[in-house]
Structure 1
Amino acid sequence: MTKNLFKQFLKYLGPSVAAMWVFSLYTIVDGIFVGKGVGELALASVNISMPFINFVFAISVLFSTGASTLIATYLGKKDLQSANETFSFNLFTMIFIAIIIAISSIIGLEYIAKLLGATSDTINYVKDYLFIISLFNIFFIVSYSLEVIVKADGFPFLATIGAIISAITNIGLDYIFVIKLNYGVKGAAYATGIAQVLSSLFFLSHFLRKKSTLKFVKFKFSFNTIKRIISLGFADFTSELSVGLVTILFNQSLVRFIGQDALISYSVICYVNTLVSMTMVGITQGAQPLISFYFGALEKEKVNYLLKISIKTVFITSIIIFTSCILFANNITSLFINSKEANLFLTTAYVFKLYSISFLFLGFNLIISGFFVAINQPLSSAIISLGRSLILVVVSLFILTKLFGGNGIWITTAVSEFTTLLIALGLLFKFFNKLKAESEKETSSKKIINPII
């Protein structure tokens, strides 16, 4: 039983982690091109701009998650008309909202740049990057939405192909625009934007083909549909939005307590953190469908086994990642920062080692949170997710900067992840103790009904 189950786990794990790596690697390559092709300040400026992209992405997540859930429900009920109307209405609504965001952000570009934490040295870079990203934000929102809905339409492999197309396009155009044509951060923004355009067109072409179940149809405006979509997508929306809010908070704290160079160091950390986080998300997403399936089938032993091998996989991966970060901190830093900038280079490598302590705990929090989602315990999952992504980070940042000043910033994530892990383990033990008590009660009841003679 366990051998076949382990094979199933690996079958889901591989593609899931690979898909996350595609996204992570092209984001990292983007940073490498900017750091090497333009300079360290430009690298920091792109990182300062990231919360805006997080916000745009969060809007897409809000509508995409809710709409895909509704669409899948309608398809399950064989109600194709309602599925098509929801699909078409959702796409129209997102395009409308994207246009409003684009116009508003272009008008308020200076204010947004300062709000994100741009300094006098980085503000022009930030404004250049955000202006171009704002022009393309319709495609950012539409691309992810169609990627999610194409899965609900029954074509999950197309989502991976779309992501690969976007990644290859972005990397290729980064090289052309940033390195060859010297367009600077504008080139990086154009590369990212054009990649999203191609991704959107790829997914749109699917829904225009005969093999697609979902089609574009006429629809009526419905507040009730919007309400249902938003309520279903709100949890994922807040989780994604909190990433941007924490980044803003970190950027402002770094400038206040340390100085502008700290933003450059934090940029390097953020790129590596993305790869590590996405790896752990890939492991979690690989385990979730199997856990949900066997939980629904009431096969508790298999659920327990899947949780154990998921935790073991996270443990091994965490040790490998942490060890690699400590041993190869200088090599990793050199990908983004020229070693000739001796002081900045050595400082970045040092604080990167401090931050990498968080990688020992991050994966466990994600897998336990994912486990609770898989077994229909959303409250426990929400406590873990919001704790590690927002609440405990803010509390830890406030306390540690009071105690240690700027140095406290670099260990904030490690402290918040560790604290979250203690809470997550508490919730996990509470859940299994409850299950054990219910099982013993059930066994006791059976003995009373069917006494042994």
Structure 2
Amino acid sequence: MKSVTQEADNPLGYQKESKLLINFAVPCIISMLVTALYNIVDQIFIGQGVGMLGNAATNIAFPLSTTCTAIALLLGIGGASNFSLELGAEEEKRAARSAGNAMVLMAIFGLTLFVLVTIFLTPMLKFFGATSDVLPYAQTYTRITSIGFPFLIANTAISKLILADGSPKYSMMSMLVGAVINTILDPIFIFGLDMGMAGAALATIIGQIISFCISLRYVFHFRHVKLTRESFHLSQFCCRHIFALGASACFNQIAMTIVQIVMNNTLSYYGAQSVYGGEIPLACAGIITKVNMVFMAIIIGISQGTQPIVGFNYGARKYGRVKKTYLQAVCTATVLSFLAFLCFQIFPRQIISIFGEGSEMYYTFSERYFRIFMFLVIVNGIQPVTSNFFTSIGKSRLGIFMSLTRQIIFLLPLIIIFPLFMGIDGVMYAGPIADAAAAIVCGVFLVRELKELTQKQNQTLAGEAL
């Protein structure tokens, strides 16, 4: 039985679930929106200051941004999930070890990615689908932004640990400050100093470094654990748990990266065979991907906001609170998905216009792509919330499977097969079919898990009655 002190010290175990979800999800949403804004703000200013080729270049570089996010979520969500489970079980030293090990891994992975990108920059960008016209812009942008990769990874990952420690507002602030700085510096560097792509990249890494410094300060002031030198000694057992619990969120981002690379190459190849050419599909798809990132940032923020609540209460064997938190999260995500559906169907041209001007053919393609590819966005909130739910309760393999359903199992094969018969339109129709299939699979596994939680809840109540 949990001690009275534990209950009094940590509101995760007793405060109303809806209030906790708001307190934790809102800062998570803002933090995720900030991550999206690093890309979308650059896209807007680059579109206005550089043009269509600049927009296409940021789309080519985008897989590296999702790679950074994948690593950050692997270590951040993995470390935070383990941290919450151990804290719920009153194992403070093991919780501290999880946080310390995660931070050491952040440094190793971040520096390794920077070195690899620096060495293999040009062949990597060509592999991502860069045409000869787009390549110089992508090289300029990526060469500078890669300097910020270690800071971006560490800041994003540490923010998840800060959240798990019960400080969602600080987690939000650490991300928000960098985005504000990036937004201020972008027009100064791009227009005022006429630095173009280099200015956008420089503004981005300055914001990332400042955000990292704010997050690093919290490392010395955790509320529920005390980090010691021993906490940073890598443990094979601890690292294995971090990787297992973070794999779901990581694989979801890796899946996005793989799909983006394949899609870029597909759009370039089939676009060149169509009336649109290779550059228009690349630029339009990049914009739509970034806009979708804003919507998905909200959904993923909700799913991550549930993590400390679900993880703590599952570790404390309060299964009723676990189930209620999940159901509230998935219902909220579905309502927001419906609002996104309305925006994407009614205002596609207005949204595209924010990112700069283009030809009538440019707008024609972008409107069709928006309306068709995003047609079933209304069910897109189910998969990330469910995937993170399974990870939070320690069922990492099921979480990984859920994270792969839409991107790898369904969307990737479809964007390869459909264009063989439908040309570039095949990419558009692959989206809604993959969305529907992923939602159905998540629903099947979810019903089974909710029944199991109800059984555990009844058994726990029966045991307490005895």
**TM-score range relative to shorter protein:** 0.7 to 0.9
Aligned with residue 247 of structure 1, among 238, 255, 260: 260
Change in CA separation of 1:70 and 1:423 when aligned onto 2, cut-off 3 Å: closer
Aligned with residue 91 of structure 2, among 67, 71, 77: 77
Please tell me the residue identity of whatever aligns with 1:115. F
In structure 2, C-alpha distance between the alignment counterparts of 1:221 and 1:215, rounded to whole Å: 13
Task: Give 1:116 deviation, angstroms.
Answer: 1.2
Change in CA separation of 1:175 and 1:8 when aligned onto 2, cut-off 3 Å: same
Task: Give 1:264 deviation, angstroms.
Answer: 0.5
* Partner residue in 2 for 1:164: 176
Q: Confirm or deny that 1:132 pairs with 2:144.
A: yes
Q: Secondary structure at the match of 2:229?
A: coil
Q: Confirm or deny that 1:178 pairs with 2:196.
A: no
Q: Confirm or deny that 1:54 pairs with 2:72.
A: no
In structure 2, C-alpha distance between the alignment counterparts of 1:33 and 1:312, rounded to whole Å: 35
Task: Give 1:48 deviation, angstroms.
Answer: 0.8
Contact 1:66/1:229 (CA < 8 Å) preserved in 2? yes
How do 1:49-448 and structure 2 match up within 5 A?
49-69=61-81, 76-79=90-93, 83=96, 90-208=102-220, 214-215=226-227, 217=229, 226-258=239-271, 259-287=278-306, 300=320, 308-339=327-358, 341-373=359-391, 377-431=395-449
Contact 2:326/2:389 (CA < 8 Å) preserved in 1? yes
Contact 2:84/2:312 (CA < 8 Å) preserved in 1? no
1:219-241 alpha-carbon deviations (Å, 9 max, x no partner): 65655554454344333322222
Contact 1:33/1:178 (CA < 8 Å) preserved in 2? yes
In structure 2, C-alpha distance between the alignment counterparts of 1:83 and 1:181, rounded to whole Å: 46
Aligned length: 436
Deviates more, 1:171-180 or 1:224-233: 224-233
In structure 2, C-alpha distance between the alignment counterparts of 1:276 and 1:19, rounded to whole Å: 13
In structure 1, C-alpha distance between the alignment counterparts of 2:167 and 2:23, rounded to whole Å: 18
Change in CA separation of 1:255 and 1:366 when aligned onto 2, cut-off 3 Å: same
Q: Secondary structure at the match of 1:411?
A: helix
Task: Give 1:191 deviation, angstroms.
Answer: 1.1
How do 1:34-45 and structure 2 match up within 5 A?
34-45=46-57
Task: Give 1:315 deviation, angstroms.
Answer: 3.5
Please tell me the residue identity of whatever aligns with 2:91. K
1:141-165 alpha-carbon deviations (Å, 9 max, x no partner): 2222332333355533221110111
> Unaligned regions of 5+ residues in structure 2, if any?
1-15, 272-277, 460-466
1:292-324 alpha-carbon deviations (Å, 9 max, x no partner): 667665564x66665554444333322221112
Task: Give 1:290 deviation, angstroms.
Answer: 5.1
In structure 2, C-alpha distance between the alignment counterparts of 1:88 and 1:13, rounded to whole Å: 24
Task: Give 1:289 deviation, angstroms.
Answer: 5.2
Contact 1:401/1:408 (CA < 8 Å) preserved in 2? yes
Instruction: Please identify the structure whose Cα radius of gyration is greater.
Output: 1
Change in CA separation of 1:225 and 1:415 when aligned onto 2, cut-off 3 Å: same
In structure 2, C-alpha distance between the alignment counterparts of 1:382 and 1:99, rounded to whole Å: 26
Task: Give 1:422 deviation, angstroms.
Answer: 1.7
Change in CA separation of 1:64 and 1:379 when aligned onto 2, cut-off 3 Å: closer
Task: Give 1:122 deviation, angstroms.
Answer: 0.7
Change in CA separation of 1:372 and 1:388 when aligned onto 2, cut-off 3 Å: same
Change in CA separation of 1:92 and 1:129 when aligned onto 2, cut-off 3 Å: same
Change in CA separation of 1:149 and 1:214 when aligned onto 2, cut-off 3 Å: farther
Change in CA separation of 1:36 and 1:26 when aligned onto 2, cut-off 3 Å: same
Change in CA separation of 1:303 and 1:411 when aligned onto 2, cut-off 3 Å: same
In structure 2, C-alpha distance between the alignment counterparts of 1:432 and 1:355, rounded to whole Å: 31
In structure 2, C-alpha distance between the alignment counterparts of 1:279 and 1:337, rounded to whole Å: 25
In structure 2, C-alpha distance between the alignment counterparts of 1:396 and 1:287, rounded to whole Å: 32
TM-score by length of 2: 0.81
Deviates more, 1:379-388 or 1:32-41: 379-388
Change in CA separation of 1:194 and 1:5 when aligned onto 2, cut-off 3 Å: closer
Task: Give 1:256 deviation, angstroms.
Answer: 1.0
Deviates more, 1:348-357 or 1:86-95: 86-95
Identical pairs, percent: 24
Contact 2:23/2:168 (CA < 8 Å) preserved in 1? no
In structure 2, C-alpha distance between the alignment counterparts of 1:228 and 1:266, rounded to whole Å: 37
Change in CA separation of 1:403 and 1:430 when aligned onto 2, cut-off 3 Å: farther
Contact 1:365/1:417 (CA < 8 Å) preserved in 2? no
Please tell me the residue identity of whatever aligns with 2:138. V
Please tell me the residue identity of whatever aligns with 2:411. V
Deviates more, 1:411-420 or 1:236-245: 236-245
Task: Give 1:192 deviation, angstroms.
Answer: 1.1
1:68-114 alpha-carbon deviations (Å, 9 max, x no partner): 4556677743438x936x65565445434433432332222111111
Contact 2:156/2:175 (CA < 8 Å) preserved in 1? no
Task: Give 1:407 deviation, angstroms.
Answer: 0.2
Task: Give 1:376 deviation, angstroms.
Answer: 5.1
Task: Give 1:273 deviation, angstroms.
Answer: 0.7
Contact 2:104/2:234 (CA < 8 Å) preserved in 1? no
Q: Confirm or deny that 1:23 pairs with 2:35.
A: yes
1:170-220 alpha-carbon deviations (Å, 9 max, x no partner): 111112111221211111111111111101111223335698954563765
In structure 2, C-alpha distance between the alignment counterparts of 1:64 and 1:133, rounded to whole Å: 21
Contact 2:144/2:202 (CA < 8 Å) preserved in 1? yes
Task: Give 1:348 deviation, angstroms.
Answer: 1.1
Task: Give 1:251 deviation, angstroms.
Answer: 0.3
Task: Give 1:246 deviation, angstroms.
Answer: 0.9
Contact 2:174/2:211 (CA < 8 Å) preserved in 1? yes
Q: Secondary structure at the match of 1:136?
A: helix
Task: Give 1:247 deviation, angstroms.
Answer: 0.6
Contact 2:313/2:322 (CA < 8 Å) preserved in 1? yes
Task: Give 1:378 deviation, angstroms.
Answer: 4.2
In structure 2, C-alpha distance between the alignment counterparts of 1:331 and 1:317, rounded to whole Å: 20
1:315-345 alpha-carbon deviations (Å, 9 max, x no partner): 3322221112222111101001315x22212
